[in-house]
Amino acid sequence: MKKLLIILSGVIVISNVALAYHTYTIVYNSSVRKIRENIIKAIMSKTKKYFRLLCKNRIIRYDIY
């Protein structure tokens, strides 16, 4: 009985950690996507020269052509 409780508590802890990690990656990925979109919008409102410089420096990999 004691081993069963230890196993169940371990499963609960592992599932909570997995859920927290999954939620964190979703939030992180969506915020990175928003930042990238904002950078692209700001650059497209300026000249294409700066946009090409960013692509060459591999800050963002995005092709507008």
Q: What is the pLDDT of residues 27-48, one digit of tens each?
A: 676 777 777 777 777 767 665 6
User: Rounded to an integer, what distance in angstroms lies between the CA atom of residue 65 and that of residue 60?
Assistant: 15
Q: Are 46 and 25 in contact (CB under 8 A)?
A: no
- Per DSSP, the chain holds a count of helices (H) and strands (E) of 2, 0
Q: What's the pTM value of the predicted model, to 2 decimals?
A: 0.37
Give the pLDDT confidence score for residue 51 in this predicted structure: 62
pLDDT grade for 65, boundaries at 50, 70 and 90: very low
Phi and psi at 10, nearest 5°, equal -65, -40
Sign of the torsion formed by the C-alpha atoms of 5, 8, 13 and 14:
positive
Are 55 and 61 in contact by the 8 Å Cβ rule? The answer is yes
